Amino acid sequence: MLLQLTALLLYFTSLVSGQQQCSYVTVATCGDDVTVTPGNLLSGRGEKGDTGLPGKMGPRGFTGNNGAIGPIGPKGDTGMPGGVGRRGETGRQGPVGPKGHKGEKGEALNLEDFNRDLNEIRERLRDIDNRLLPVSCLTSSLNGYQILSNNKTGVCDHKWTVFQRRFDGSVDFNRTWQEYKDGFGNMEGEFWLGLDQIHEMTSGQNCKLKVKMTGFDATTAYAQYRKAKSVSWATQNKQKNTNNVFCFRSSFAIDDESDNYRLHVSGFSGTAGDSLVYHNGYQFTSKDRDNDRWNGGNCAVRHGANGGWWYCWCSHSKLNAEWGRSEGHNRNMIWYHWKGWNEAIKESTMMFKCE
């Protein structure tokens, strides 16, 4: 301020001294920039000056404090399950359960239903029995009388099927055709099995025949018929076709009733001699059915009661004749090649075995 007053004093001094060639004077500044024009000085206060330039930027502030700790993060995933624990021990046995309830009162028995059920059970048992039964004596392990399958019966003797047995005359063999066809007698004693069954059990099979005999003198003999091994099949068939000789695979068989149970037997061996081959190829004859070759009458009644047999004219053997010690020519049971015409046979067993 002192300086500004000095300048003003100088200016007025110059004016007083006559120095007016300058229209203005620059007043020296004393800190603030002040422009002084002569006009202002001369005619009053001047206009306000322009705003000065902004000052320099202040220094950078201090670094702020650290921020607060953030919130807690989300929960992690659940871990994998652990391994299976060891098996526990078996528990002890539980106590016995309580007693059951009392049953209901039964209904009255219906006899009709009961009988029907019983018959059904019987049928089933019969069916089972039948399947368990042996087909023939060959498949049976037993000896003596027995029931075979398919409604057949048999008397077995070590795999042989017995179809005729005599030893004491307790059964009458002077029988009709029908009786010889069906069979008769006591299977535990003397009997004839029956022509139908003999046919059925030997038909189409390879069967052999055995005849066992005992005399009244207690001597024994047998005759057996089985296929001769020396005769080939071709030879047998040739004989059958050309010579009308019955050569079958079986050495023993009988045809059915339509051919009157014709006998086929061959291949003898044994101790009794062959008194049956004479009858080979002939039909069966009974006292009421004459199929023999004797034109003079019926061989079944020629020398007394001869019983049924495969007579020709008439016989070399007749084991179904009246039982008893012989009392004349060709009477009673005869096997000519062993005991001749006048000595009867006491016991006979005829049986076959088919394989």
Residues that bind Ca ion (CB under 5 A): 290, 292, 294
Q: Rounded to 5 degrees, what are φ and ψ at 72?
A: -70, 135
Shortest separation between residue 302's beta carbon and Ca ion, angstroms:
9
Q: Which residues of 77-108 are buried (b: 16+ CB within 10 A; e: fewer)?
A: eeeeeeeeeeeeeeeeeeeeeeeeeeeeeeee
Euclidean distance between CA atoms 308 and 53, whole angstroms: 170
- Cβ nearer to Ca ion, comparing 148 with 312: 312
Asked whether the CA dihedral 308, 311, 315, 316 is positive or negative, the reply is negative
- Cβ nearer to Ca ion, comparing 297 with 340: 297
- Cβ nearer to Ca ion, comparing 174 with 206: 174
Residue pointed to by tokens 């080939």 = 232
Composition of the chain by helix, strand, coil, percent to 5: 25, 20, 60
The answer to whether 321 and 333 have CB atoms below 8 angstroms apart is: yes
Shortest separation between residue 243's beta carbon and Ca ion, angstroms:
25
- Cβ nearer to Ca ion, comparing 251 with 285: 285
- Cβ nearer to Ca ion, comparing 167 with 294: 294
Shortest separation between residue 292's beta carbon and Ca ion, angstroms:
4
Shortest separation between residue 293's beta carbon and Ca ion, angstroms:
7
Shortest separation between residue 312's beta carbon and Ca ion, angstroms:
10
Euclidean distance between CA atoms 263 and 251, whole angstroms: 10
- Which two structure tokens, joined as six digits, stand for 331? 């009477």
Residue pointed to by tokens 């005991």 = 339
What string of DSSP letters covers 149-178? TTTEEEEEETTEEEEEEESSS-S-----HH
- Cβ nearer to Ca ion, comparing 141 with 295: 295
- Cβ nearer to Ca ion, comparing 190 with 292: 292
Shortest separation between residue 121's beta carbon and Ca ion, angstroms:
53
- Cβ nearer to Ca ion, comparing 207 with 312: 312
Q: Rounded to 5 degrees, what are φ and ψ at 154?
A: -160, 155
- At CB < 8 A and 24+ separation, what contacts does 291-294 make? 291/260
In whole angstroms, what separates CA 222 from the centre of its chain? 49
